Amino acid sequence: MTGVLEARNIVKTFIVRREGKPHELRAVGDVSLSVAPGEIVGLVGESGSGKTTVSRIMIGIERATSGTVTYNGKPVETRADWRALRRSVQYVFQDPFTALCPTMRIGDALAEPLIIHNMCPRGEVPGRVTKMLETVGLHPDVARRMPNQLSGGQRQRVNLARALMLEPKALICDEIVSGLDVSIQAQVLRLLVELQERLGLSLIFISHDLRIVRYLSSRVLVMYLGQIVEQGPTEAVFDNPQHDYTRALLAAIPDHSRVLAGAA
């Protein structure tokens, strides 16, 4: 089955200066991954492993040194290609506090994607904003509030709502619950699962927390030092890890009953 979104042989290098001389730093080395229609793929690894860099390349925030990104089997190359991809694939950022413009009301933040992409007549925008707030479990009055009037969990719900405004086929979720309290994590994860099932979304879920990845994903890829070192069906990887790094990650998992019990 062709992936909705694929990264093929992605390499990303940066030039850094050491002792006054330029050196090449390879952040990602020959990484390939894909997500099929309706699939949830977990991408795990410690901070600095390259998982966020790969995801930012897949949405066009950064450009690969080499390799290709494809959407529905077609390479994404031109500005028009990237614009079309960004309408169909949305990115949910890690920090719910900096992901929203602090001077823009929530309703305006949700309306902006509709207006930019000419999704509907202007007169229909307020109704769509109200419906989306209700979809993510927020009262329509939230549209009149500023980001600093919301809790972290509410802001992350708003970020999910904004990502869903364009009716995307896929979401890339980058550590979206890592900064939230455990009880709020469970609420956001439960909402994400409900939305994914209801809308048939494909998800790439990025995390360093294997407890959450096991709960969410059907397939998992493990990144270490910029490379995929292990991948496969989630239960197979968790029950019979083949790489030393994967075994070390699994050995470090604390008791996860609180998160999973709340999200189930």
Q: What are 74-121's pLDDT values in tens digits?
A: 999 999 999 889 889 999 998 888 889 999 999 999 999 999 888 889
Q: Please provide residue 200's backbone torsions phi and psi, each rounded to the nearest 5 degrees.
A: 65, 35
Residue 76's SS3 state is coil
Q: What pLDDT was estimated at residue 262?
A: 47
Of 118-122, 127-131, 199-203, 250-254, the range with the lowest mean pLDDT is 250-254
Whole-Å CA distances, 81 to 11, 70, 84, 115, 176 = 20, 10, 5, 19, 27
Please spell the DSSP secondary structure of 172-215, one letter per residue: EEESTTTTS-HHHHHHHHHHHHHHHHHHT-EEEEEES-HHHHHH
Q: pLDDT value at position 2? A: 62
Q: How far is CA 50 from CA 27, 31, 77, 104, 199, in A?
A: 6, 10, 22, 32, 29
Bridge partner residues of 206 (DSSP): 43, 174
pLDDT tens column, 46-84? 888 999 999 999 999 999 999 999 999 999 999 999 988
pLDDT surpassing 80 at residue 19: no
**What value does the mean pLDDT of the chain take?**
89
Q: How many domains does the chain have?
A: 1
The answer to whether 32 touches 8, Cβ cutoff 8 Å, is yes
Q: Is the pLDDT of residue 1 over 60?
A: no
Please tell me the predicted confidence (pLDDT) of residue 36: 94
CATH of the domain at 91: 3.40.50.300
Residues 6+ apart with CB under 8 A from 262: 182, 183, 185, 186, 187, 190
Task: Residue 70: give the domain boundaries.
Answer: 5-263
Q: What is the mean pLDDT of residues 172-190?
A: 87
CB atoms within 10 A of CB 104: 14
CB within 8 A of 99, min separation 6: which ones?
Answer: 92, 93, 155, 159
User: Is the model's pLDDT at 38 over the cut of 90?
Assistant: yes
Q: Is residue 188 predicted with pLDDT exceeding 60? A: yes
230-258 pLDDT, tens digit per residue, is 999 999 999 999 999 999 988 887 654 44
For a pLDDT cut of 70, what percent of the chain falls above it?
95
Instruction: Answer for the pair 10, 30: CB distance below 8 angstroms, yes or no.
Output: yes
Give 186's pLDDT tier (boundaries 50, 70, 90).
confident
Q: What order of strands is seen across the sheet that includes strand 5-18?
A: 21-35, 5-18, 66-71, 74-75
Q: At 55, phi and psi to the nearest 5?
A: -65, -40
Residue 91's pLDDT is what?
A: 94
What pLDDT shows up at residue 259?
41
Determine the pLDDT at residue 22.
Answer: 82
Give the whole-number percent of the chain exceeding pLDDT 90. Answer: 66
